């Protein structure tokens, strides 16, 4: 594999490799941890040629396998996977559409990487999120107009800052993330809470979008705050306090850039937070309210 990886650095050899059906074989190797690191590098090199990009998008399961590496524990695999997907999206809108269709759970993975990945991965993930959001907007515009040229390109201005720009997932993606609060997998619950809490901390308007899309979010968070893992309990309690504060203090129009500041919980046992009964549907039940003053502050 190391020899093939070295050979793939030549565009001429890449063209031959594509003709010999290497992409199909590499797709199957991506799912094997022993070969995934070398395979994704070879695919990245193949993606430097137009023939390679076409083959990658047309090979069944290739884009999906690449997107799965966004959840890899190996930083190099994450970086190379993002590099391939970003290069495809920058090249053509039709490639972007294929990436969105194949990478079903890609949005939440990219959002986590843009905040917790390596510096290179953070920047690339932020650029890719912006590209995908632009495609979503472009598709909505096209639905009300005549069909445009399918070969138009997406122009993305490179990020020039070290800290990545926070990109908000579209509403339908936020709703999908909220559904993971009812997952039986603790890690999925913890990651979903982390994403939604990050959005609410960033801006009040994001909080309102989360409330609007996550219809049953209150009851799910209340159950997690009492029965989840320790990390999930604390996250759910902070999240409930954020949503309750937004409910009780609606912001005036125009204050779209206000930020929500949450003081981190410093106790081991999470504070029991009671959601609005009208939101949770838990009418007729009595809950003990904490006498501790809220530490949630909204800054305008």
Over residues 69-123, the pLDDT tens digits come to: 999 999 999 999 999 999 998 888 888 888 888 876 788 889 899 888 899 999 9
pTM listed for this prediction: 0.53
Q: Which domains does the chain have, with CATH numbers?
A: 2-142 (1.25.10.10), 171-299 (no CATH)
Digit-coded pLDDT (tens) for 55-68: 999 999 999 999 99
Alpha helices, DSSP H, located in 92-229: 93-102, 106-116, 119-142, 171-179, 186-202, 204-213, 217-227
Q: In the beta sheet, which residues pair with residue 297?
A: 261
Give the residue among 166, 69, 68 at the shortest CA–CA distance from 123: 166
Lowest mean pLDDT among 32-46, 147-161, 275-289: 275-289
Question: What is the sign of the dihedral through the CA atoms of 122, 123, 124 and 126?
Answer: positive
H/E element holding 28?
helix 22-29
Digit-coded pLDDT (tens) for 15-44: 999 999 999 999 999 988 889 999 999 999
Tell me what pLDDT residue 87 has.
Answer: 92
Digit-coded pLDDT (tens) for 173-182: 555 677 888 8
* Separation CA 4–CA 115 (nearest Å): 33
Classify residue 73 by its DSSP letter.
S
Show Cβ contacts of residue 166 under 8 Å, excluding neighbours closer than 6 positions. Answer: 114, 115, 126, 198, 202
Rounded-to-10 torsion of CA 132, 137, 138, 142? 140
Residues in the chain: 300
Classify residue 286 by its DSSP letter.
-
Cβ burial, residue 36 (10 Å; 0-12/13-18/19+): buried
């Amino acid at each position: 594999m190391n020899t093939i990886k070295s050979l793939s650095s030549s565009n001429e050899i890449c063209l031959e490799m594509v003709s010999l059906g290497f992409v199909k074989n590499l797709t199957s190797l991506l799912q094997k941890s022993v070969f995934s690191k070398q395979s994704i590098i070879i695919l990245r090199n193949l993606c430097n040629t137009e023939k390679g990009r076409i083959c990658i998008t047309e090979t069944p399961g290739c884009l999906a396998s690449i997107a799965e590496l966004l959840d890899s524990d190996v930083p190099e695999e994450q970086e190379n996977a993002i590099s391939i997907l970003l290069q495809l999206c920058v090249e053509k809108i039709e490639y972007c559409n294929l990436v969105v269709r194949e990478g079903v759970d890609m949005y939440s993975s990219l959002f986590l990487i843009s905040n917790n990945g390596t510096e290179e991965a953070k920047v690339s993930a932020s650029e890719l999120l912006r590209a995908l959001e632009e495609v979503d907007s472009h598709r909505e515009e096209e639905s009300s107009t005549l069909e445009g040229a399918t070969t138009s390109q997406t122009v993305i201005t490179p990020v020039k800052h070290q800290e990545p720009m926070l990109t908000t997932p579209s509403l339908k993606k936020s709703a999908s993330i909220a559904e993971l609060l009812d997952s039986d997998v603790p890690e999925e619950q913890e990651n979903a809470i982390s994403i939604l809490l990050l959005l609410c901390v960033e801006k009040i308007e994001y909080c309102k979008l989360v409330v609007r899309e996550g219809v049953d979010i209150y009851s799910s968070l209340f159950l997690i705050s009492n029965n989840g893992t320790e990390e999930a309990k604390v996250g759910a309690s902070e999240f409930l306090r954020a949503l309750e504060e937004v409910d009780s203090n609606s912001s005036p129009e125009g204050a779209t850039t206000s930020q929500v500041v949450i003081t981190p919980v410093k106790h081991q046992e999470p504070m029991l937070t009671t959601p609005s009964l009208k939101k949770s549907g838990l009418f007729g039940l009595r809950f003990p309210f904490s006498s501790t003053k809220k530490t949630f502050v909204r800054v305008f």
